Structure 1
Amino acid sequence: MNVRVLDLFAGAGGFGLGFRQAGFEIVGAVEAWKYPAETYRKNFPGTELWERDIQKIDAVEVEKKVGRPDIIIGGPPCEAYTVANARREKEPIDRLYKDPRGRLTLHFIRFVGDLQPEAFVMENVLGIIEGDLKEALRYEFGRVGYEVKFNVLEASVYGVPSKRTRVFISPIRIRPKGEKRKTVWDAIGDLPDPRDAHDIPNHAYKPMPRRVEKVVHRLRWGQAPVYFKGAKRVHQNYIRLHPFRTAPTVMGASRFVHPFSDRLLTVRENARLMSFPDSHVFYGPVEQQYNQVGEAVPPKLAFKIAEVVKGKVGEL
């Protein structure tokens, strides 16, 4: 019997892809935004997709359509919590209860409470457990019947060629087995120059902004010409990647410069850094495709998590 998964805040499907690769059946998904929903629909043609605001969806409606899921997964929007947001609420607790984007996390919890799955995994940035937030989330999940664990995982430890530290909140203690780290060149070294003839999806050449074009030839590995201020630190953009190291965190707004060519990485190269297979195609305008990649859960990490969850199903 297949283990049935409901994928909330599904995005372009990285979380769901990892679970599908591990043998789970993705029976339903919710994604409000047009272009990620298009990407999800075309990569998961057998999954019932609600392209609507989760705040306007009743769990009963989902259960009537696809049945009660065994597992719920999802990554609510992180903008309210991330240190990259210089305008986030000053008090951590207000990010969950006052910020409209932060309150979407409570709708994940609502679905968990209404559907009572055997287990769930909710992904987000570390900022979601800052200050009083950790205890608030413990309380909210407890209120619907679950005692949770806060599993902090770094993607590159599990074979993803880019760094990405996130927390996975679940009733399960998630400690996957690590594997050898992969470098940028491990991930993209076999791809052709996008200006040459090829048939690789999402591998179109992307012109760079004039301000970057003027200085890109002077950039050494690890250097960047553009900086922006977040809530706690300054972030780099247009970093020239070091080919023999793991890439920095891929974000929706981030763009990388190729290690050896004076050009930006393509969407496909970014997707490779996030462990997406070339068979997973992204749709919509190019900038939206970059965003979809950068906002995803790396499928390789999702697979590792799914393997742990699979071993616990029936034991909870």
Structure 2
Amino acid sequence: MELFCGAGGMSLGLTQAGCDVVAAYDAWPVAVENYNHNLGGNVARVADLTDLLGIVPDLLKLAPDMIAGGPPCQDYSSAGRREEAENARLTLAFALIIATVRPRWFLMENVTTAAKSATWREARTVLKRAGYGLTESKIDASRYGVPQSRRRLFVVGRQGERDGFLASAIAVAAAPTPMTIRDLFGATTPAAVYFPSTSEARRSIWSPDEPAPTIRERSIRPLPDSYKPHPDDAALVANGFIYSRPVRAGRGVRTVDEPFPTITRTAWERPTARYLSSPHPADPVAASETAVLSIPQISRIQGFPVWWEWRATAKRDILQMIANAVPASVAASIGRVILDRESGKTTPAIEGRFVRWLTTTRGRSPQSAWNVKSLAGRARHLLGGRTFAVPALELAALESVEEFWALKKNAQSDLRQALRLLAEYQAEGHLRHQKPRQMTTTDAQPLADAA
């Protein structure tokens, strides 16, 4: 289920990943109406999420496997005053709901500055006391399927896990290069699917990663040489430059060969006279020469599909719903990472200088140290990718695996010892004090490879 669901961006992405969203809640009736209109099922309802006694009983009855949500970020946002007030307290309300309902998993999204807030420190304490291991990842949305350099904090929690248990898998899910505006609006799309539209105003090119339009008798044909993109998209790409109202004296003009900055409710605005007279020195062209984004284009940059219909009497409300949303493709990426770990398809990487610690602190030879690391990885494979905050529970879980008892006694002993040593290393805090390194595609190993 999703809290603070808005118009449904996160729910759309989690559904695309393979989750079943059974309930969603938000305090804004306009957003709830748009959610139900586009996603169907009347899943979303209007609710005051500060009224814990009013909402928690319903959530307890539903007993969800995961609760997701993006508590309001205005109090933390770099575009705001950064004064923690009523909106910030909704992050604590989110944590209190998690601690009371106790789903196996939770997923929270917010701006990156929330990670340093006093409210998040309170919320984090609540979640840790409730027994959740936390992965706190700061991601760039342009690496997760939208042409937007939107940096956000994603916190994933799972009962009983060690902190950081999903970090390597989230890092590996990132694309090697950012998605650009041209990638989304360009005339041709790699691996595109052609569904002839019934109107020249509608799109006929669809990505294989998004829901297809209604299938008709003449649907799904090879891309014809004569196909032309939507006129608005073609004009944008032909112009080559887009203006975005800068935040805190940033650059206002972007080329179509880079991501758009973070979508806000002012993304449609043209440059002011003040900006035109004093542009940013790094702007590649004058802001007056840039293309104008339409609401459908802003919506797609934020990850909403072309078939999405916005319902609101005020343009400001539509833009606010778009800006507030979690891009669907980002939510889908994180959702797939969660489902892969839930099903045991991936194991967490053994990060840090574990081998070096074994040689310098435990007196192991280099070969012996590498063998211990390999055995620890094998143990995590047998555990289905689970890690445990309590070492005794980790060993107990290992000994409950049937495959473990099929091994010879000395192999069983070696696996136990490898897990104990890894737990000692992690307890000494080596992971917290070393410099972060670049993740690689081997960090979140599929179980077949880890075996």
Q: TM-score range by the shorter chain?
A: 0.7 to 0.9
**Contact 2:263-2:323 within 8 A present in 1 as well:** yes
Residue type of the alignment partner of 1:101: N
How far 1:220 sits from its partner (Å)?
9.1
2:331 to 288, 293, 302: 302
Closer, same or farther: CA 260–68 of 1 in aligned 2, 3 Å: farther
1:274 to 270, 295, 302: 302
Closer, same or farther: CA 227–312 of 1 in aligned 2, 3 Å: closer
Answering whether residue 130 of structure 2 is matched by residue 144 of structure 1, we say yes
Superposed CA deviations along residues 115-139 of structure 1, whole A, max 9, x for unmatched, are: 1111011000011112555543321
Closer, same or farther: CA 7–190 of 1 in aligned 2, 3 Å: farther
Q: Hey, what does 2:105 align to over in structure 1?
A: 119
Q: 1:152 and 1:70 mapped to 2: Cα distance?
A: 24
Superposed CA deviations along residues 41-72 of structure 1, whole A, max 9, x for unmatched, are: 112222532212112332112343xx211011
Q: 2:320 and 2:306 mapped to 1: Cα distance?
A: 17
Residue type of the alignment partner of 2:93: H
Superposed CA deviations along residues 194-244 of structure 1, whole A, max 9, x for unmatched, are: xx97257xx9x9xxxxxxxxxxxxx994666x656xxxx3356xx444112
How far 1:302 sits from its partner (Å)?
0.7
**Contact 1:18-1:299 within 8 A present in 2 as well:** yes
Identify the structure with the greater helix proportion: 2
Q: 1:265 and 1:190 mapped to 2: Cα distance?
A: 17
Which SS does the other structure have where 1:27 is aligned? Answer: coil
Closer, same or farther: CA 72–34 of 1 in aligned 2, 3 Å: same
How far 1:158 sits from its partner (Å)?
1.9
Structure 1 window deviating more from structure 2 (260-269 vs 32-41): it is: 260-269
Q: Hey, what does 2:174 align to over in structure 1?
A: 178
Q: 2:118 and 2:88 mapped to 1: Cα distance?
A: 14
Give the percent of matched residue pairs that are identical in Structure 1 and Structure 2: 27
**Contact 2:268-2:295 within 8 A present in 1 as well:** no
Q: How does 1:142-291 map to 2 (within 5 A)?
A: 142-171=128-157, 173-174=166-167, 175=170, 176-179=172-175, 180-189=177-186, 198-199=201-202, 221=241, 233-234=248-249, 239-255=252-268, 264-284=292-312, 285-291=314-320
How far 1:279 sits from its partner (Å)?
2.1
- Aligned residue pairs: how many? 273
**Contact 1:27-1:47 within 8 A present in 2 as well:** no
Over the residues paired in the alignment, what is the CA RMSD in angstroms?
3.1
Residue type of the alignment partner of 1:103: R
**Contact 1:160-1:182 within 8 A present in 2 as well:** yes
Q: Hey, what does 1:293 align to over in structure 2?
A: 322
Q: 1:62 and 1:134 mapped to 2: Cα distance?
A: 22
Closer, same or farther: CA 221–265 of 1 in aligned 2, 3 Å: closer
Q: Show structure 1 runs of 5+ residues with no match.
A: 1-5, 90-94, 206-218
| Superposition TM-score, scaled by structure 2 size | 0.55
Q: 2:117 and 2:58 mapped to 1: Cα distance?
A: 35
**Contact 1:7-1:16 within 8 A present in 2 as well:** yes
Answering whether residue 31 of structure 2 is matched by residue 26 of structure 1, we say no
Q: How does 1:70-81 map to 2 (within 5 A)?
A: 70-81=65-76
1:52 to 30, 47, 51: 47
| Superposition TM-score, scaled by structure 1 size | 0.76
**Contact 2:173-2:337 within 8 A present in 1 as well:** no
**Contact 2:242-2:292 within 8 A present in 1 as well:** no
Q: Show structure 2 runs of 5+ residues with no match.
A: 158-164, 189-198, 204-229, 233-238, 272-286, 344-383, 387-451
Q: Hey, what does 2:435 align to over in structure 1?
A: none
Superposed CA deviations along residues 150-176 of structure 1, whole A, max 9, x for unmatched, are: 111111112311111111112252414
Q: 1:279 and 1:132 mapped to 2: Cα distance?
A: 40
Q: 1:80 and 1:286 mapped to 2: Cα distance?
A: 23
How far 1:310 sits from its partner (Å)?
0.1
Closer, same or farther: CA 152–32 of 1 in aligned 2, 3 Å: same
Residue type of the alignment partner of 1:76: P
Q: Hey, what does 1:104 align to over in structure 2?
A: 90
**Contact 2:69-2:108 within 8 A present in 1 as well:** yes
